[in-house]
Amino acid sequence: MSSTLFRTKKVEQSILDTEEPEHALKKSLSALDLTVFGVGVIIGTGIFVLTGTVAKNNAGPAVALAFVVAGVVCALAALCYAEFASTVPVAGSAYTFSYASLGELPAWIIGWDLVLEFALGTAVVAVGWSGYIHSLMDNAGWELPAALGTRDGADGFGFDILAAALVLVLTAVLVLGTKLSARVTSIVVAIKVTVVLTVIVAGAFFSKADNYDPFVPRAQEVPAGDSLQSPLIQLMFGWAPSNFGVMGIFTAASVVFFAFIGFDVVATAAEETKNPQRDMPRGILGSLLICTTLYVAVSIVVTGMQNYTELSVTAPLADAFKATGHPWFAGFISFGAAVGLTTVCMILLLGQTRVFFAMSRDGLLPRFFSHVHPRFKTPHRPTILLGVIIAVLAGFTPLSELAELVNIGTLFAFVVVAIGVTILRRTRPDLHRAFRTPWVPFVPILSVCASLWLMLNLPTETWLRFAFWMVLGFFVYFAYGRSHSRLGRHEETGVDEVLKPPGRDAP
């Protein structure tokens, strides 16, 4: 029983599966495309909201150091992702990596979790985008009927038509081709980065040295809580984090870390990359470096424009410009945020469909969804299915309920990938690795410890939701996935060698 649950899929077989004509994705992405994808998904509302919020509540001007700490934690995971993505250039990201190193059940768990996280993440971003568009429409004197506006605070029937429409339009773009998606993303990311750079340069002129004193405010203890909203580590050990001071920087890092979530989505596009061995590490690490630099710069600017104790929580950057007598920038920032969220939504949707596609191709989900479009060479069936489901979810669900995103899934994936790198180094030392994670197993162990620490700082309620989804996932796997697994069927028929796709000789 246990041997079948932890059976691994050979790397060679995973790569050969990508050459089956009906299940092969088109290779059209470059290192620049991957970097743009990474920047496009990482930079969202966090750069406009989270920087000031955390500065006011947790770290003061030292929030810039918190972003550096969070960036280092992500970099540890990124090094592991880069090795896996260049060694196993197959769609599915952490799911595929786990299948090759840890076994089928761990791979299913990761895939099942990422599908949920990307779905909720896409819906959250779509609703947030709708809010910015509503704000811009109000400035122009336009107003949608109440029944077609936001669901938050709606009386009776309400459907967020803008959020649903965005998801459906992006679904169509993804069906038409990944290269088209990359071109659209490149244009939107260029606009978004231009807005961010303009804000940084303009804000630098309005900054005052007095606002950086003290750079690290005096520490303040936080009383431990005992509710489900309290971090798990508080309920387990009674330990409570502190705000401000040196430890406040690490408390802030556990919060701003979630502004980086999304860089791992780049790995889901490995199979559609022209030269994954060279370009995947560049795309993953390059996008992370660019975004960390921008986050640090914005945090320095916002705390320099206005004293951290006076920053607003809802729109700190926009309000900081208002406080300096430049309200025009508020609308400019709203425009940048609205444009930026478009790419975040699309890339999360792309990542989700690729994980779903990979699980389907392995038989753990119905194989019907693993066929690519004969013309566009995209996984059109899961893209359309998931796009419609997410559009309905975004249209009918209030943002206050969607906001409880299962961030724990990404951290869990970080842990699994770091462990998988170490295991695959031992079990398959013969594999060609175009990129090698340095200082193995030291770097993977650091990545695991850092991720687990951040997981323990998540609310207990998030852990309960995670446990519920995992139990449901176990039920689906044992009811369907395990009996339909292609790898399991090959073992039952006694096929032990790498299976050949139709019309190809064995290497």
Q: How far is CA 473 from the centre of its chain?
A: 20
How is residue 359 written in tokens? 């699980």
116: in domain:
yes
Query: Is residue 221 helix, strand or coil?
Result: strand
122: in domain:
yes
492: in domain:
no
**Averaged pLDDT for residues 269-275:** 88
Q: What is the pLDDT of residues 17-52, one digit of tens each?
A: 888 777 778 888 889 889 988 898 888 766 776 787
499: in domain:
no
Model confidence at 117, pLDDT cuts 50, 70, 90, reads confident
Helix (H) or strand (E) holding 242: strand 242-243
Residue 330 pLDDT exceeds 80: no
pLDDT score for 460: 83
pTM, to two decimals:
0.85
**Averaged pLDDT for residues 202-226:** 85
Calculate the alpha carbon distances from 140 to 185, 338, 424 in Å. Answer: 26, 15, 57
Q: What is the CATH number of the domain that holds 133?
A: 1.20.1740.10
Stretch among 363-377, 445-459, 491-505 having the lowest mean pLDDT: 491-505
Model confidence at 503, pLDDT cuts 50, 70, 90, reads very low
- Give the mean pLDDT of the chain: 84
Q: Buried (b) or exposed (e) across 242-257, using 16+ Cβ within 10 A?
A: ebbbeebbbbbbbbbb
For 409-424, the DSSP string reads: HHHHHHHHHHHHHHHH
pLDDT score for 171: 94
Calculate the alpha carbon distances from 336 to 23, 192, 289, 293, 304 in Å. Answer: 38, 5, 21, 18, 21
**Averaged pLDDT for residues 435-442:** 93
Q: Count how many domains the chain has.
A: 1
**Averaged pLDDT for residues 240-248:** 83
54: in domain:
yes
Q: What is the pLDDT of residues 477-490, one digit of tens each?
A: 999 999 999 988 87
412: in domain:
yes
Model confidence at 1, pLDDT cuts 50, 70, 90, reads low
First to last CA, the chain: 32
Query: Is residue 313 helix, strand or coil?
Result: coil
Residue 3 pLDDT exceeds 70: no
496: in domain:
no
Distance CA 32, CA 170 (A): 21
- Which comes out higher in pLDDT, residue 342 or 386? 386
pLDDT score for 505: 42
Helix ranges restricted to H, 140-231: 161-176, 178-206
Residue 314 pLDDT exceeds 70: no
- Which comes out higher in pLDDT, residue 381 or 133? 381
433: in domain:
yes
Residue 328 pLDDT exceeds 90: no
Query: Is residue 402 helix, strand or coil?
Result: helix
Distance CA 171, CA 183 (A): 15
pLDDT score for 2: 58
Q: Which domain holds residue 363?
A: 2-487
pLDDT score for 504: 43
